[in-house]
Amino acid sequence: MARIKQTDKDLLELKGLHLYHHQGSNCAARIRMALEEKGLKWTGHSINLVTCEHLKPEYLRINPESCVPALIHNGFSITGSEDILRYLEETYPEPSLCTGTEKEKAEIWRWVDEAAHSHLDTTVSFLYAHKMGRPCAKKHLPIYEKINPERARFIKERGYNMSEKQRLEAIAHNHKMFQKLEDNLSRKAYLAGDEFSLADIAWGMNIILLENFGFNFSEYPKVNEWSQKIRQRPAYNDKVRIPKFPQWLIYCMFKIKRFLYRTV
């Protein structure tokens, strides 16, 4: 588990659960949803990914790899959505979001780990393949190279100029994943069984983000139905909700941003 002992007074003084997140982040939405499902009281700190607040030294103290989400609790920061979900489930086991036999629980964690570890290859690559998403400005690449070389390599390879081969591969890879979700949801009410679990939170937020970007899942009727069911849960409230903007606005915003970022 990625857990970092904090030493700065301002962070040590924080009481309760503090989530560092961005409202538009699917990885952070997993944590918001789990916190609300568990009925926990938490304080949110918005880290604006668009203005690159996540690359500032104040945030790098909390997550040296710069991504959101990060959780601060009792003087430690915990990073990586899968590790934060594990921490919450261990620390606040009731109500559980991971029930069943040991085998069923292991299956839930497999889904969670897969969602977290495949973030760049799934959601981000899919958005890049459709000229969306926000590869950083060129001037920020040296920072990424220092703090998160894997992400720097990814942005350089796929962020600015994805080749047609990479584009088709990214789309095919994601469709394979959507089909895997569809197949599972054809057999069960939820991703890992008959109960709503962390598996649904982990993948549900990916699908909801893509839907909000305008992608249509009608080819995958079970996925469609399941994401609606997740949206209707009381826990998917205003604190959790991933914002939805009109398609034309998203398109213009990314077009401008991508044009500028290629050069600056």
Ligand X SMILES: N[C@@H](CCC(=O)N[C@@H](CS)C(=O)NCC(=O)O)C(=O)O
**Residue numbers at the binding site for ligand X (CB under 6 A):** 25-27, 49, 54, 66-69, 80-82, 116, 119
Task: Provide, rounded to whole angstroms, the least separation between the CB of residue 137 and ligand X.
Answer: 11
- The nearer residue to ligand X, 54 or 130, going by C-beta atoms, is 54
Residue 11 buriedness (CB in 10 A; 0-12 / 13-18 / 19+): middle
Detail the DSSP E strand segments found in the chain.
3-5, 17-21, 42-46, 70-73, 76-79
Task: Provide, rounded to whole angstroms, the least separation between the CB of residue 193 and ligand X.
Answer: 22
- The nearer residue to ligand X, 128 or 178, going by C-beta atoms, is 128
Task: Provide, rounded to whole angstroms, the least separation between the CB of residue 101 and ligand X.
Answer: 26
Quick check: 176 and 5 in contact, CB under 8 A?
no
- The nearer residue to ligand X, 117 or 176, going by C-beta atoms, is 117
- The nearer residue to ligand X, 49 or 177, going by C-beta atoms, is 49
Quick check: 198 and 33 in contact, CB under 8 A?
no
- C-alpha radius of gyration, the chain, whole number: 18
Task: Provide, rounded to whole angstroms, the least separation between the CB of residue 53 and ligand X.
Answer: 10
> Which one-letter amino acid corresponds to residue 228?
Q
